[in-house]
Structure 1
Amino acid sequence: MLELKFRLAERFMAISTRYPVMIIGGAEDKVNDCIILRAFFESAGGEDAIIGVIPAASREPTLVGDRYYQIFTGMGAKQVKVLDIRLREECEEARWLEALEECTGVFVTGGDQVRLCDLVGDTQLLKTIKEKLKNDVIVIAGTSAGAAMMGEKMIAGGSSGESPNPALVDLSNGLGIVPELLVDQHFHNRNRMARLLSAIAANPDKLGIGIDEDTCIAMLGDGTFEVLGKGTITIVDPGSLTHTNDIHPHQRDNTEDPNTEGYDTEGYDTEGYDTEGYNTEGYDTENRADIPAPLSLHNLKLHVLKQGDRYDYKKRSVL
């Protein structure tokens, strides 16, 4: 049955575009048309693809790695390797670097983006991936946590459903695959607009990207991307920002010591602020009297894009 569905998807969708980088909002279709995963598969070389799956963000890497192994094998990839890295020092080991050297595509799964960056950040494995991307001999896709890590700055955790607020989000360093972007995922599905706005208030030099589930920005290698999938992409452009009352950005930047214990990185607190794990030094979090007032941001530019829409993230303009 699974093989039949892949054949039907192939018949209804011919993908001719190669996407060097694909950033997926999580919960991508894995059993029906598989538009996003098939686009990655084709970008990696189709039947000639050698795909490396990195499930390091997941708490169940064996299970998650095997699922994508089955998917890409079912699509007809020449070879699928699960790079089941559990310790940071393994990113320097020859066995994984040699396995990566053969890959034409790397797929980074969901899970906990802080765990992922702690394992992979500033290692030879990451340097090799970036070098191969620079030389255009590999493509990369990341979903959920694998999407969050794409920017130079990363949303490490936080809450949802509130007004923009400095206590709503915590930031850390990402892996810098696309440094200009600051990405949030499961976006409208988990009501994360306020979280992204709070992150952008602290990083007005970045372009905010909110990606819905089963939706993807597929980069074309020339500073532009197009949208794939069933949801929308929300772009928050602070390029013309004239005012914000965010005066505590340093309190949300845990790049030196990302203490994320207590964050709900998969869901959100619908009852109020989930302040456990936040850097709230100086705030009366018990009474909430000293939690900062909502943020104001003046003159932001907002775009909402759907499948087929294109955007130039270098020039910050819709095409």
Structure 2
Amino acid sequence: MPQSTKTAIMVIGGAEDKVHGREILSSFFSRAGSTDARIAIIPSASREPAIIGDRYRTIFEEMGAKGIEILDIQDRHHCDDPALQSYVETCTGVFLTGGDQLRLCSLLADTPIMQTVRQRAQRGDITLAGTSAGAAVMGHYMIAGGGSGESPNRSLVDMTTGLGIIPELLVDQHFHNRNRMARLISAVAAHPDRLGVGIDEDTCAVFEGDGILRVIGRGTVTVVDPGEMSYTNHPRIGATDPISICNLRLHILCHSDRYDLRKRVALIPGDLPC
């Protein structure tokens, strides 16, 4: 199957293959324009931005990108730099690396650079990818941290405001790898007007402009849909009390599976809902 060249917002669960097939990174490179790509790497979530920025620069250089700039934003005033602003206005792809999603939001939220990136991504002018922490920031609400492996409860998840690139989503990453189902369900119980999306490592949820989520990579994307939720005790319980939540709809999607965000249905081959 030929590689699609459509722009997209690519939400990556972390630990994407950087050495062998590089399927997800190759898809980002292709969607950003292949050898005509002009890529902005934003490593601000990392405590070692120079190291992680150079790692991705090397990967995209090897693929043949036309231009690559590392936007080493370590203070909010860096977002006022005219040169950086000019580059995000003209680049074809933006890559948000992993690290700490709270750090990333504290540096980028409500800045001219982030406003430009968000608007261009939402219009389909660029391909925007975020991995790990760069994936967590995609929704209006963001999972900032929490635990794993317990029954769902309010204390299991720390919520704050994300970057609002795909506002209707609640994204969790390293999902099955770190046993985060209960954490995502706890977040959905708190925000039942949002759609929970948990993304495994080396797996990507690809959002084009058609309202369809497409899965690539070696793991799964878990969709937790509270649209038909009939009951939850979430508003009336203590922080560590277990959450009851009834009539959630759950989808586990793997490579090439699709999900219609507007109709809230998974699609099997032939575009039939399942």
Match of 1:94, as an amino acid? P
Match of 2:181, as an amino acid? M
Aligned-partner Cα distance in 1 for 2:123–2:230: 39
Alpha-carbon deviations, 1:9-54, whole Å to 9, x = none?
xxxx841242410000000000000000000000000000000000
Equivalent residue number for residue 305 of structure 1: 253
Cα RMSD, aligned residues only: 1.3
Equivalent residue number for residue 11 of structure 2: 23
* Higher Rg: 1
Match of 1:128 among 116, 123, 139: 116
1:204 counterpart = 2:192:
yes
Equivalent residue number for residue 52 of structure 2: 64
Asked if the contact 1:19/1:218 (under 8 Å) is kept, the reply is: no
1:242 counterpart = 2:230:
yes
Count of equivalent residues: 267
Q: Calculate percent identity across the aligned residue pairs.
A: 57
Displacement, 1:102? Answer: 2.4
Alpha-carbon deviations, 1:221-255, whole Å to 9, x = none?
11111100000000000000111111269xxxxxx
Displacement, 1:185? Answer: 0.0
Alpha-carbon deviations, 1:181-203, whole Å to 9, x = none?
00000000000000000000000
Asked if the contact 1:166/1:248 (under 8 Å) is kept, the reply is: no
Alpha-carbon deviations, 1:78-120, whole Å to 9, x = none?
0111001000111122121012122100000000000000100
Aligned-partner Cα distance in 2 for 1:53–1:36: 15
Alpha-carbon deviations, 1:127-178, whole Å to 9, x = none?
1112222443211000000000000000001011100011100100000000
Aligned-partner Cα distance in 2 for 1:148–1:303: 19
Aligned-partner Cα distance in 2 for 1:106–1:236: 28
Aligned-partner Cα distance in 2 for 1:137–1:194: 36
Match of 2:164 among 176, 183, 204: 176
Equivalent residue number for residue 270 of structure 2: none
Aligned-partner Cα distance in 1 for 2:81–2:138: 23
1:164 counterpart = 2:152:
yes
Unaligned runs of 5+ in 2: 268-274
Asked if the contact 2:12/2:130 (under 8 Å) is kept, the reply is: yes
1:105 counterpart = 2:93:
yes
SS at 1:247 equivalent: helix
Aligned-partner Cα distance in 1 for 2:187–2:228: 16
Displacement, 1:220? Answer: 2.0
Aligned-partner Cα distance in 2 for 1:135–1:225: 16
Aligned-partner Cα distance in 2 for 1:194–1:119: 29
Match of 2:257, as an amino acid? D
Match of 1:315 among 240, 249, 263: 263
Cα distance 1:224–1:124, how it changes in 2: closer, same or farther (>3 A)? same
Displacement, 1:313? Answer: 1.1
